Amino acid sequence: MQNGLDTKFFTRGSRAAGHRVALRAAVLLGATLAILPLTGCPTDATTAAAPGKVAPGATAPPVAAVAGERASAPETEPQGQVLVGQQNTGTQHAKQVQDLISRVEASYQSGITNYNANRLDAARLDFDFAVDTMLSSGMDLKNDPVLSDEFDSLLSRINSLELVALKQGNGFSPKVEAAPAENASEVTFVANPVLVGKVTQELKTTQSDLPLVVNQYVAGWIDAYSSSPARRGHLKASLERAGKYKDMIQRVLRENGVPQDLIYQAITESGFQPQALNARSGAAGMWQFMPFGGYGLERNGYFDERFDPEKSTIAYAKYMKTLYGLFGDWYLAMAAYDWGPGNVQRVVARTGYADYWELYRHNAMPAETMAYIPSVIAAIIMAKNPAQYGLTDLTPDAPVLSDTVTTNYAISLPLVADLTGATVQEIVALNPAMLRLSTPPDRSYDLHIPPGTTEIFQSRLKDFPEENRASWRFHIVKDGETLDEIAESLHAHAAQVAQFNDVTAAKPLETGDELIVPIAAAFAASTGQTHYTTKRTDTLVTVADRFGVTVEQLRAWNHLSSNRIVPGRTLNVAAPIRMAPAGRASRRASRSSHASTTPAKSHAGSQTSLHATTPHTSHPAPATHTSSQKPSSATHASAQKSSSTKRKNQ
């Protein structure tokens, strides 16, 4: 229920994320400006802090020691003696650390440049790469003090920029409105018998499965919603946003046997904003769950299910049912949801009143909790009597519709957008639980894509090697576009795009061609380079150091028999793409039948809703392949040979 800021953070991950995610969780949860709530310590639902509150002494969970810590020196080695081999190893390690930090800072500074120029998508990608460079370095970020400080500093700086952007309303994700109970102490309740009498009469014809009551406190909130432009604006916007999730929420509440009108609690919690985040307490999502507690919502470095509308609603319904079983009263259950069940139990035991309104009259609860239930009841009464309160002009938002595909590999959201004909913003909006612009690389994830695009998504995706789905792009050639323009717009190299897609003078680009765009995902990508022209003062060693690669890699990539290089030679400074052409023409021909039927950005009501009655049943979208189905090199080579044969016959 707290003032929300958006936590749609923008870091992507890499493989072997196991202990790096745990490390990232410890760093983020310990940071002052941590806005990326990660895995916490689950506790019993009846004793956990309330979703909208934070325990005063909350700390990050302990992180298990990383395997491979330095062993103690042999007893035979004289204390304090430094061997030559150890000294060289230490010097080499220090150099590797400095090289890593230099690459990270270069990417971060590029992000700052894009950020200041209001190129927020580009800034997001730069910041992503800076974090990924550290996470994928293979170095011990936890126990190396220099790297630990750099990682902590990097995350804090990026998080600070995100907070500033959000406060200015131009952040990387949509601006989130404050919840009405945030400034509850500003609401004064002047006795108004006329208003109380009017609402009492309305209540006689108001249908609700909650035990609605009217008193001066509820009437005071009705007056606040009616007379304050800000509060009235929040109420109207909330009721309009509810259209996106109303069917799903009511289904979940019904399936869990709790009152349907509990849906209106979301007005006070978040205004139906799934990405709401309270920067002060850490409560997040539509139902403002804390980053710890036994709510059954998973949080890791890639996604936070508190931001998933359906999964968080299921957790909310189950938790409210538990609280009602504990107190036997829906108002006390809602108070416990806000303040914490332990606090409510203690105040009931201390005062002897197991009645919310008696606790209210005795001023036995915090101001926010005292405002919480009256504000919910007021919203219910006004929403169910729109004509009396001037709410007849509302236009509910259309339900959120999507298809769902299950991934068990890393795929970037820009590539998902390319394959489905959507924008990155549209894909992000369909997946509010994602914390990065990539799906997890080593576990299954239900990815939401635009409705009606499953078939074309899977058809196009099969041409992308699994290991390249986190960095490569897809492009359909438009009339008048050139290869250079396409490559430049996607930060690729025209020669590589041409090679991979078999673009030659004899077979030039045509409008409608579907291109696979290889993009190097190597360390050199932090500078945007995969090639380098040598200068007179260069040596193979200096070039390797400059781009964070080894001399052996440079020799292999450039077919060098020695370490000697001549000025003016163009070198590959990232792994060159030497795959056979992938059949641009054959892909275009094979998909011509899809052109008239693929709803790339369709949101028609006939499409499957994200929140269907039976989750993952009415819009089934099987994984494109599982790890056991990953194509072997031989299979991929065979497919390329087949495509090449088709082109020769055209």
pLDDT, one tens digit per residue, over 325-340 is 999 999 999 999 999 9
What pLDDT score does 281 carry? 82
**Residue 325, in any domain of the structure:** yes
Query: 472 with 376, same domain?
Result: no
**C-alpha–C-alpha distance, residues 292 and 29, integer Å:** 11
Q: 191-205, 246-260, 274-288, 612-626 — which one is most confidently predicted on average?
A: 246-260
Say yes or no to pLDDT of 82 above 50: no
What pLDDT score does 144 carry? 85
Say yes or no to pLDDT of 114 above 50: yes
Which residues are 289's β-sheet partners? 284
**283 versus 11: which is more confidently predicted?**
283
Task: Over range 535-554, report the average pLDDT.
Answer: 76
Say yes or no to pLDDT of 293 above 90: no
Task: Over range 420-442, report the average pLDDT.
Answer: 90
Residue 367's CATH number:
1.10.530.10
Task: Over range 456-485, report the average pLDDT.
Answer: 94
Structure tokens at 51: 């979703």
Full domain range(s) for residue 468: 409-519+583-648
Query: 251 with 308, same domain?
Result: yes
What pLDDT score does 225 carry? 93
**C-alpha–C-alpha distance, residues 8 and 5, integer Å:** 9
HSE, side-chain direction, 13 A CA sphere, residue 447: 34
Query: 351 with 488, same domain?
Result: no
pLDDT band at 287 (very low <50, low <70, confident <90, very high): very high
Task: Over range 217-222, report the average pLDDT.
Answer: 93
pLDDT band at 587 (very low <50, low <70, confident <90, very high): low
Say yes or no to pLDDT of 525 above 80: no
Closest by CA to 11, choosing from 138, 3, 464, 25, is 25
Query: 344 with 417, same domain?
Result: no
Query: 197 with 240, same domain?
Result: yes
**Residue 395, in any domain of the structure:** no
The answer to whether 63 and 141 have CB atoms below 8 angstroms apart is no
Query: 477 with 594, same domain?
Result: yes
pLDDT, one tens digit per residue, over 132-158 is 788 777 788 777 889 888 887 887 677
Query: 414 with 379, same domain?
Result: no
H or E stretch covering 514? strand 514-517
**Residue 66, in any domain of the structure:** no
Lowest-confidence segment of 93-97, 262-266, 346-350 by average pLDDT: 93-97
Task: Over range 194-207, report the average pLDDT.
Answer: 91
Domain boundary among 323, 355, 389: 389
What pLDDT score does 214 carry? 93
Say yes or no to pLDDT of 441 above 70: yes
**C-alpha–C-alpha distance, residues 619 and 451, integer Å:** 9
Q: Report the percentage of the chain scoring pLDDT > 70.
A: 67
Query: 246 with 197, same domain?
Result: yes
Say yes or no to pLDDT of 228 above 80: yes
Helix (H, G, I), strand (E, B) or coil at 21: helix
pTM of the model: 0.61
Query: 511 with 478, same domain?
Result: yes
**503 versus 649: which is more confidently predicted?**
503
What pLDDT score does 166 carry? 43
- End-to-end CA, the chain: 63
Q: What is the DSSP string of 349-364?
A: HHH----HHHHHHTT-
What pLDDT score does 530 carry? 67
Count: domains in the chain: 2
Say yes or no to pLDDT of 361 above 70: yes
What pLDDT score does 208 carry? 96
Query: 431 with 385, same domain?
Result: no
Query: 243 with 211, same domain?
Result: yes
**Residue 494, in any domain of the structure:** yes
pLDDT, one tens digit per residue, over 362-417 is 999 999 999 999 999 999 999 999 999 999 999 999 999 999 999 999 999 999 99
Residue 197: φ, ψ to 5°:
-65, -40
Q: What is the DSSP string of 39-87?
A: ------TTTSPPTT---TT--PPP-PPPTTPPPPPPTTSPTT---HHHH
Residue 631's CATH number:
3.10.350.10
What pLDDT score does 584 carry? 55
Task: Over range 491-496, report the average pLDDT.
Answer: 88
Query: 238 with 333, same domain?
Result: yes
**Residue 122, in any domain of the structure:** no
